[in-house]
Structure formats: structure tokens, C-alpha cells
């Protein structure tokens, strides 16, 4: 038995167990109102019925499609603009500080404006997601392409590479880890932005549902939705890691 390997896992499991145990004790002793913290068992029942009935579908579809549209636009736009800027030293001097400056503005401040422009439906959520995800993607694309080691470029040139071959076979794979880190960051931020803005003003979506349930004091189902969203975020993360490993190994 390799204790030093198992020990960290045991501490982690112990921590999770302690949190759940404290939750159970707090609710079963009657010290905490079930409106604030519902019993574990009722959260579990609510989660099971949520998954069994498939009641989450309409909200998941709204949030999922908002995320998909926002992230696709931000990713494609960020990569293309990052590539165009990254090609020229002059453009980098102009746009890199500009993008970095805009990135540091809390974009959420624009949300009331977006609701006015794009309405209270998915439009404003998508716009928010794009605004928030675009900057990490474009900045990392510029940085990734600019920091490609000169020796790779010289070596490829000496062997006759130029134009599209140079880009697809050398620049892109060399910059890929940095660009991918930006894409990953963009996806996470877009998801957060969309959930958050759904909570502030919306008709539908997972964020909307959670706030709605909280306002109706239906805490057990609200917690069930929170657990469900955490599960979605986890799956998203696993999918991204899988794509990363696969692209690194095969496509490049």
C-alpha cells in the first residue's frame, strides 16, 4: 500500500464528508430553518426527480444555446482578430494595450445597456458572454503567435516553408498551448457571465430558474439546480481537457 499516494485523497474525501455531515447535523437538529438550508435528503429527492422528469431541459437548452453562440462568436472572432493583429508588429503595438485595457474594465457594467439594446431575452446574455470571452481569446492568440520561438520559424524557412504551410504546421502548433489556455478561460468566463446575467434579468435559463426558486423559497429544488449546474460545469471542464489532449496529440 502506498500511503503517501492515498493520503491526499483521504483528506479530500474527509473534507467533503465533514461538510455534508455538518449540513446534516445543522438541518436535523432543527437549529437551522429548512428555508435557508433544506435537509440533505430533500435536496437529494429534488435532484433525483429533476433528473428523472427532465424538467431541466428547457432551461438547459436556453443557457446552453446562449453559451454555444456566445463562445463560438468570441472564439472565432478572437482567434481571427488575434491572428490579424499578431501578424504585424505595428498592429500589436496599437491593439495589444488597447485590448488589455478594455479587458480590465468590468464588462458586467455594460449589462443594463445590453438589456436596453438587445432586450431581456437571450440577446443580452449572448452579447455579455461575447464581451467577456472575447478578450482572453484575442489576447492569448496575439501573445501565443508573437512568442513563437524564432528558431522554429528559421528552421522551417530554411527547409522551404512559407505562407499557409508555415502557419498551419509551425505557427499554430507552436502557439497552440497559449491560445488554448485563452479559449478555456473564455469558455469559463462566458458561462459565468451568462449564468450571472440570467440571474439579474431574464425570462429563462438555469440562472433564471435558480433565482426564481430562491424567491419562491423552494430551497430544496434550488439546491438541486445548483448541484445540477455544478455537474454541467464539471462536464464542460472534462470535455475541454479531452479536446486539449486530443488536439495536442493528433491534429497538430
Partner 1 sequence: MSGATPAIQVERVTQAFGPPGSARRILALEEASIDVARGELVCLIGPSGCGKSSLLNVMGGLAAPSSGKVWIDGELVRGPSPRKVAYVFQENALFPWRTVIENLKLGMEFGRIPKGERHERATRALEAVGLSEFAGYYPGQLSGGMKQRAQLARALALETEILLMDEPFAALDEQTRMVLGEDLSVLLARTGKTIVFVTHSLMEAVFLADRVAVFSARPGRIKHILSVEEGHPRSPAFMTSAKLSALRNQLYEILHDEIRKAMNLRGPESASQAGKGEER
Closest CA to 224 of 79, 62, 90, 42: 42
Measured CA to CA, the distance from residue 89 to residue 36 in angstroms comes to 56
Position among 70, 133, 170, 179 found at the interface with partner 1 (CB under 8 A): 170
Closest approach of partner 1 to the CB of residue 241, in Å: 18
Position among 49, 72, 154, 241 found at the interface with partner 1 (CB under 8 A): 154
Of 156 and 181, nearer to partner 1 (C-beta) is 156
Q: Binding to partner 1 by residue 178, rule CB under 8 A? A: no
Q: Binding to partner 1 by residue 252, rule CB under 8 A? A: yes
The count of other CB atoms within 10 Å of the CB of residue 69 is 18
Q: Binding to partner 1 by residue 152, rule CB under 8 A? A: yes
Number of residues that bind partner 1 (CB under 8 A): 19
Q: Which residue has the cell 425570462?
A: 203
Residue 18 burial (10 A CB sphere; 0-12, 13-18, 19+): exposed
- Describe the chain by its helix, strand, coil percentages, rounded to 5: 85, 0, 15
Q: Binding to partner 1 by residue 44, rule CB under 8 A? A: no
Of 15 and 168, nearer to partner 1 (C-beta) is 168
Q: Binding to partner 1 by residue 93, rule CB under 8 A? A: no
Closest approach of partner 1 to the CB of residue 185, in Å: 21
Of 62 and 170, nearer to partner 1 (C-beta) is 170
Q: Grid coordinates standing for 100?
A: 488589455
Q: Pick left, alpha or beta for residue 149 (phi over 0 → left; psi -120 to 50 → alpha; otherwise beta).
A: beta
Q: Binding to partner 1 by residue 156, rule CB under 8 A? A: yes
Segment lying near partner 1 (by CB under 8 A), choices 20-28, 44-52, 166-174, 213-221: 166-174
Q: Binding to partner 1 by residue 233, rule CB under 8 A? A: no
Measured CA to CA, the distance from residue 11 to residue 106 in angstroms comes to 37
Position among 23, 44, 176, 180 found at the interface with partner 1 (CB under 8 A): 176
What lies within 8 Å, CB to CB, of 86 at 6+ separation is 92, 141, 142, 144, 145, 146
Report the half-sphere exposure of 229 (CA within 13 A, side-chain side). 21
Rounded to the nearest angstrom, the gap between the alpha carbon of residue 53 and the centroid of all alpha carbons in its chain is: 27
Of 44 and 176, nearer to partner 1 (C-beta) is 176
Binding mask 97-136 for partner 1 (x = CB under 8 A): ----------------------------------------
| Three-point CA angle 91, 96, 102, nearest 5° | 130
Closest approach of partner 1 to the CB of residue 176, in Å: 7
Position among 90, 104, 158, 163 found at the interface with partner 1 (CB under 8 A): 158
* Residues that bind partner 1 in the complex, under the rule CB under 8 A: 149, 151-152, 154-161, 165, 169-170, 173-174, 176, 248, 252
Amino acid at each position: 500500500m502506498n500511503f503517501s499516494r492515498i493520503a491526499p485523497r483521504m483528506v479530500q474525501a474527509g473534507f467533503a464528508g465533514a461538510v455534508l455531515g455538518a449540513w446534516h447535523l445543522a438541518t436535523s437538529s432543527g437549529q437551522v430553518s429548512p428555508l435557508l438550508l433544506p435537509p440533505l435528503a430533500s435536496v437529494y429527492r429534488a435532484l433525483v426527480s429533476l433528473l428523472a422528469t427532465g424538467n431541466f431541459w428547457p432551461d438547459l437548452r436556453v443557457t446552453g444555446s446562449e453559451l454555444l453562440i456566445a463562445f463560438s462568436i468570441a472564439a472565432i472572432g478572437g482567434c481571427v482578430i488575434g491572428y490579424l493583429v499578431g501578424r504585424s508588429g505595428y498592429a500589436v503595438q496599437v491593439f495589444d494595450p488597447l485590448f488589455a485595457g478594455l479587458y480590465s474594465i468590468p464588462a458586467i457594467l455594460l449589462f443594463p445597456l445590453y438589456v436596453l439594446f438587445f432586450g431581456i431575452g437571450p440577446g443580452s446574455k449572448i452579447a455579455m458572454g461575447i464581451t467577456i470571452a472575447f478578450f482572453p481569446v484575442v489576447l492569448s492568440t496575439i501573445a501565443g503567435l508573437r512568442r513563437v520561438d524564432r528558431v522554429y520559424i528559421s528552421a522551417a524557412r530554411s527547409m522551404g516553408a512559407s505562407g499557409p504551410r508555415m502557419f498551419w504546421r509551425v505557427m499554430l502548433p507552436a502557439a497552440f498551448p497559449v491560445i488554448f489556455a485563452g479559449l478555456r478561460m473564455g469558455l469559463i468566463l462566458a458561462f459565468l457571465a451568462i449564468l450571472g446575467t440570467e440571474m439579474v434579468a431574464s425570462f429563462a435559463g438555469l440562472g433564471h430558474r435558480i433565482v426564481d426558486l430562491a424567491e419562491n423559497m423552494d430551497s430544496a429544488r434550488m439546491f438541486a439546480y445548483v448541484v445540477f449546474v455544478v455537474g454541467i460545469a464539471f462536464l464542460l471542464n472534462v470535455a475541454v481537457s479531452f479536446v486539449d489532449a486530443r488536439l495536442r496529440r493528433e491534429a497538430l
